[in-house]
Chains A and B, each alone.
Chain A
Amino acid sequence: MRLPSLRSLRVVRRMARVTATRALVLALLATLAACSTLEGAQRPKEPSRPNGAGSSGSTGAPAPGGGGGAPAQPESPPPSVAAPARPPGATSGATQALLAQSRAARAAGNYAQANATIERALRIAPSDASLWVELGEIELATGNAAQAATLARKALTLASPNDSVAITDAQKLLRAAGGR
C-alpha cells in the first residue's frame, strides 16, 4: 500500500533531480557562457598617455600620404632638399629649435609631425616669413601645391625688403608650386 506512494515519491524525486540537474547544467552552462564573455571584460583602460609614442613618429617609415608607391624614399620635390640650407632668419632660439625638429621629422618622412611642429613655431613667431615658407614646403612635399603657393604668397607679404633669403626662398617655392 505504501509502495505506490513511495514509488510516486521516488518518481517525483527522480523527476525533480533530473530537472534540477538539467537546470543546474543549464545554469552552469549559462554562467560559463556569461563568464566566458567576461574575459575581455571592462577593465579600466590603460592610460593612453605613455603609449603610442614612437609608433607615429621616429620609426622612419614613410608617413601615410607621404608618397604613393615609392616605399624607401619619400617622393619629395626639390625644395625639401634645399630647405635645410636656409640660414636662421630673425627668429628666436625657440623657433629655431622647433624648425630643426620640424626638419628632422620631414627628413624622416613624417610630414604630419613636421607640419604640427612648424605650426607650433608659427604660433610663437607668426610674422616670421621663413617659417611660412617652411610650412609651404611641407605642403608641397605632401602634394598640396595650391596651399604651398598661397603660403609662399603669404610669406612674401611678411618678408621685410632686406630679408633677401626669405624672399628668394618664397619665390622659389612659389615657382615650384606652379603659382607663377
Chain B
Amino acid sequence: MARTARSGRRARSRILKFTLGAMALCVVATIAYAGYVTWQVGHEFSGRRWDLPAQVYATPLELYAGRALAADDLVSELKRLGYREDPRLARPGTYRVALQRVEVSTRGFDFAGDTEPPQLISLGFASGKIATLRGVDGADAAIARLDPLLIGSLFPAHGEDRLIVAPAETPPLLPAALIAIEDRRFADHHGVDLRAMLRAAFVNLSAGEIKQGASTLTQQLVRSYFLSNERSWTRKLHEAFMAVALELCYDKPDLMQAYINEIYLGQDGDRAVHGFGLASQFYFGRPLAELDLHELALLVAVVRGPTYYDPRRHPERALARRNLVLQEMADAKLVSAADAEKAEKRKLDLLSTSRRSATQSAFLSLVRRQLAMDYPMKELERAGLRVLTTFDPGVQAAAERALTTGIAALGANAKELDGAVVVTSPHTGEVNAIVGGRSGDGFNRALDARRPIGSLIKPAIYLTALESGRYTLASVIDDSPIDVKLDNGDVWSPHDYDGEPRGEVPLIRALAESLNLATVRLGLDVGLEPIAKSLGRLGLAQKPKLYPSMLLGALALTPLEVAQIYNTLANGGFRVPLRAVRDVLGEDGQVLQRYSMQIEQAADPAAVYALNHALVQVMERGTGRTARAQLPAGLTVAGKTGTSDDLRDSWFAGFTNEHLAVAWIGYDDDRPTGLTGATGAAKIWVRVVGGLEAGSYRAPAPDSLETVWVDYLTGEPSAARCDDAVALPLPAADARPHRLLQGCAGESFGARLRHLFRSDAP
C-alpha cells in the first residue's frame, strides 16, 4: 500500500495510523455497543416482569336442585361465560340443550384450595327452577359451580392489559400459524432474516411502496417490548441488534411464548389489549385453548394491524385477512384444505359488545376502592393478583335492564334523565351489582353522585322513636302545620307533599304515607342528636349537620351510602360493612387476604322488626303501593320512597329476603325531574326486583312483641274484620288494651257483641 507513495511518508503514515485507530475505535465501539445491547436486553427482559393488572372475577354460579333458575337463564349465563353449544360435549366449556334439560361440561376452577373439578352435569328444569342435578354417573349431586366470570382487570392509566398464558394453555396451532404467517424462517434465523429483508426490499422497490415487511417475530417482540413505534433507520438497526442479542440468550420456544403474551392485539377504550390470552377473552369471551380454527386464525390475522384489521370496526377487512391466513395455514400443511375451507365459511363470531357490559366498570371501581385501602395502586396494577368478588352477573344484568327500560318507560322527556342502582345481599353485606348510569359514560353515580335523600331518612327517625320506648307503631302523632324556629332566627314551615295535613295519625300511617309534618314533630321530639346517632349506627360514615331540615332528608348521600344504611335494616339491625371483594389471591395462587364478613349489632332487633313491618306497609298501603302492584301478589317486600326538594331527586330503597336494592334517578345538572320517589325510582326498583329470584321478606316476630289489630287511620284498637285493620307488632304492655273485645271505627257496642257470636270473630 505504501509502495505507491514516495514522498510525505510521514503524513501518510499519520493518516494510516489515524485510519487504523479510527477503525479500531469503530470495532471497539461496535463491540461495546453489542455488549451494551446484550446487557440491556438481558437486564430488561429478565429483570422487568410484565405488569400484570389484577384480574377480577365474579362470584361463581351455584347450581343445586331447588334453585330458582330457568333453563333460559342458565343458558344465558353459560353464553356469558363463553360456553358453546356442542351436541357431543366434546370438551370443558360446552353444553347441550334438550327439552327441560341442560347438560354442561363445566370448566372447573381452583382458587387457593377452593376447588371445583371440571365435570359433566345434567340439570332438569321444572316451573322456573332447577328440579334435578345429576353427575355424569347419573347419581344426584348436591351442588356444582360454574367457573367465575372474568369481569375485568384493574389496569393502570397507561392502559396496558394482558392475561398471561402458559405453553400448556396455548393451542399448538397458534405458534405454528404465527410462524407460517409472520416469520417462516423463525426456527432457523438468529433474530434477523437477511433473506427476507432482501426480498422485501426488492418487492418494495419494484412496487414503489411498502408492500412487505421483513420483521422476524423476534424483531416484533423487541419492538413491542423495548421500543417506541417510531420508524427510523437507527431504530431499525437498534432493533436488529437487540433481536440478535435476544436470540443469543433465549431459546426459540421461550421467545415464542413471550411473543404470544406480549404482542398488541386490540384496543378497548383506554385499555390496550396485549397477548393472545386476553385477546381471546376480548374478542370471543373464551379461554385461548377453547378457540376454534376460524377464531384462532382471526387473532393471527389481527397481529398485522390491530387497528386496520379491527374485527369490530372493519369486519370485511378482518374477514378477508382471516381467510388469507387460513389459506396460508393450509398451504403450510398446518391444517387440511378441507378444514381451512370449512373455517373460511364461518362468520367472525365475535363476542357482541352488548355482552361485554360497559357498566361492569362501575362495579370494578368499587373493587378498586375497597382494595385501595389495603394495597398500593402499583401492586394492583402490576402484581398479577386475582380478586374474587361478590359480583353477580345475573343480578347486574337485571339491574341494568331495569334502569334503562325503566327510564325509557318514563316517557319522552326522560331523555337526559339518568340514574343508579345498587343491589346487595343484606344478610352477608355483599354487593351484587352496581349500575352507575344508563350508559358507560364513566361517571359512576352509584358511588359518586351525592344527592339529598328526602324521605329515605325517615326510617332512621322512626327507629329512634321505637327504640326510645316512648313510641309504638300505634302511637298517635299530629300531622298538622308546624313552624320551627331555627337558630339563626328564621322560621321553617315544612309542608306535606300533597298539602293536606292529616291531623292525628298513628306512626304506622305517618311512615307508610311519608307524612312530613307528623315526622318533623316526631323527629323534634326524639331529638336530632339521637337520630344522627342512629344513622351512624346504621352505617352512615359522615356526621350529618343537626339542622331540623335534616328530618326531611336535606342530607345528601350516594346510592351506595344509602344501601349501607338500608342493608342494616334489611339485616334485622345487624350492621355488616358492604363489601365487593371476598378474596385476594397472589400470583402464586395462594390467598393473600380474605375479607370475611364483619358483623355488629347496631339496633334493637325488636325495634327493627317493627320498623320493617311498617316498611312492608309502605308497600301495601302507602307510597309504594302503586309500584308494589307490579310485583307478584304473594310477594312481601319492604321499602321506602324518597323525594328531594322541587322533585330534583327520585329515590327508592327496599328489600326482599335475598336482596336489597337502592335506585336513584335524576339529572346530572340537578334540575327538577317532575318525579317523586313513587313515580320515578320506585318503578325502576320494581323492575330490578321483578328481574331477580325474589323471596318474600320475612322475619320471625321477637318474643317481646305481640301482633294485634289496629285501625290504620287512627291507631285505635280494631277487630281483624274491619276495613282499615292492620296487624301491628307492639310491645306486650302496649298490646294489652288491644286484646279486649274490639270493633271497627264508629261501631256500636251492640254490633261488636253480635260479631262476637259470628264465626268470623277474631
Contact = CB atoms under 8 A, between A and B. Distances in A.
Interface in B400-432: 425-428, 430
Interface residues of A, number: 69
B38 A52 contact: no
Contacts of A44: 164-167, 257-258, 260-261
A16 B20 CA distance: 8
A31 B35 contact: yes
A150 B601 contact: yes
Contact of A126 (B9, B47, B250, B427): B427
Contact of A23 (B21, B32, B589): B32
B64 A94 contact: yes
Nearest to A159: B700
A47 B64 CA distance: 29
Given A42-B49, A126-B427, A34 B24 contact: no
A116 B32 contact: no
B702 interface: yes
A34 B261 contact: no
Interface in B589-607: 589-591, 594, 596-601, 605
Interface string B55-70: 0000100101111000
Interface in B689-735: 698-700, 702
Interface string B21-56: 101100110011011101111110111111000000
Interface string A27-41: 100110111011111
Nearest to A113: B113
Nearest to B572: A157
Interface stretch (A5-13, A68-76, A81-89): A5-13
Interface residues of B, number: 90
A147 interface: yes
Nearest to A38: B249
Nearest to A50: B110
Contact of A123 (B13, B31, B45, B62): B62
Contacts of A55: 113, 590
Contacts of B142: 93-94, 96-97
Given A27-B31, A124-B62, A116 B13 contact: no
Nearest to A138: B596
Given A44-B257, A56-B591, A112-B594, A2 B2 contact: yes
A120 B587 CA distance: 24
B16 interface: yes
Contacts of A112: 591, 594
Name the prevailing secondary structure of the A interface residues: helix
B85 interface: no
B614 to A, nearest CB: 17
B110 A53 contact: yes
Contact of A37 (B32, B46, B50): B46
Nearest to B277: A44
A93 B596 contact: no
A15 interface: yes
Nearest to B574: A154
B53 to A, nearest CB: 14
Given A30-B38, A147-B598, A45 B587 contact: yes
Contacts of B165: 44, 47
B599 A161 contact: no
A77 B41 CA distance: 59
B143 A94 contact: yes
A30 B599 contact: no
B657 A126 contact: yes
Interface in A123-170: 123-124, 126-127, 147, 150-151, 153-154, 157-161
Nearest to B114: A116
Contacts of A37: 42-43, 46-47
A49 B49 contact: no
A13 B47 CA distance: 40
B248 interface: yes
A43 B39 contact: no
A57 interface: yes
A33 B16 CA distance: 36
Interface string B548-579: 00000000000000000000000011100000
Contacts of A33: 39, 42
Contact of B38 (A31, A47, A56, A154): A31
Contacts of B62: 94, 120, 123-124
A157 to B, nearest CB: 5
A116 B254 contact: no
A38 B45 contact: yes
A147 B160 CA distance: 42
A27 B258 contact: no
B591 A51 contact: no
B228 interface: no
Given A4-B13, A27-B38, A53-B113, 17 more contacts: A8-B16, A12-B21, A19-B28, A35-B42, A35-B248, A38-B249, A39-B46, A41-B42, A44-B166, A45-B166, A53-B110, A56-B113, A57-B113, A93-B140, A97-B142, A119-B428, A126-B426
18 contacts: A5-B9, A23-B28, A27-B32, A30-B39, A31-B35, A31-B245, A34-B43, A35-B248, A37-B43, A41-B42, A44-B164, A47-B166, A93-B65, A93-B142, A94-B64, A115-B596, A123-B62, A153-B605
Interface of A: 2, 4-5, 8-9, 12-13, 15-16, 19-20, 23-24, 26-27, 30-31, 33-35, 37-58, 92-94, 96-98, 112-113, 115-116, 119-120, 122-124, 126-127, 147, 150-151, 153-154, 157-161
